[in-house]
Each structure stands twice: as structure tokens, then as C-alpha cells.
Amino acid sequence: MSKICALTGRRPRTGNNVSHSNRRTKRRFLPNLQNKRLWSEEEGRFVRMRISTAGMRLVNRHGLDEAMRRSGIKKGSKPQAAATSILQA
């Protein structure tokens, strides 16, 4: 399963571990993804999504349907598939 947020599109970033002697080795910063089951008022059903904690805050502020609309996810589509199509555009 890919490490991409369905709402925000956050994905792993790369950086360096820096030791005390200032040696640098590559590392990945992973998004804090959670599997959530969220209620959609417009669809009248629960939607399973793999979203980041930043995406959860968006849902808390605006509601799931508005957050999906802002991220370009269409009603009735699978959120994970929609997230990858957003990122390719």
C-alpha cells in the first residue's frame, strides 16, 4: 500500500540523518497516515480512507464532503484511486 494521503496528497520526503560528527546518511520522512472510516453526509455511507493527520484536521474543520471537494475527489469514487489521479495531473 502506498504511503500517500488520499486528501492532501502528502507523500514520503527524503532528507539526511546527521550524526554528531556531521556524517550524513539518507533517510525518509514518512507522513503520519491513519486508516479512518469517515461518514459522508452527501453519500449517506461510511468511506474508508488512508489519510494523514493534517487531512484529519481538514475533515474536522470543513467536513468530509467539503474536504473531498477541495482536493478534487468525485463522489462515489474510491478515495485512494482519486488521490493517485490528482497527483498525476
- Residue 73 CA neighbour count, 13 Å, CB half: 24
Give me the domains of the chain, ranges plus CATH numbers: 13-88 (2.30.170.40)
* Residues 47, 7 contacting (CB under 8 angstroms): no
This prediction's pTM: 0.74
Largest CA distance in the chain: 57
The pLDDT score that the predictor gives to residue 49 is 93
87 falls in which pLDDT band (50, 70, 90)?
Answer: very low
The pLDDT score that the predictor gives to residue 82 is 56
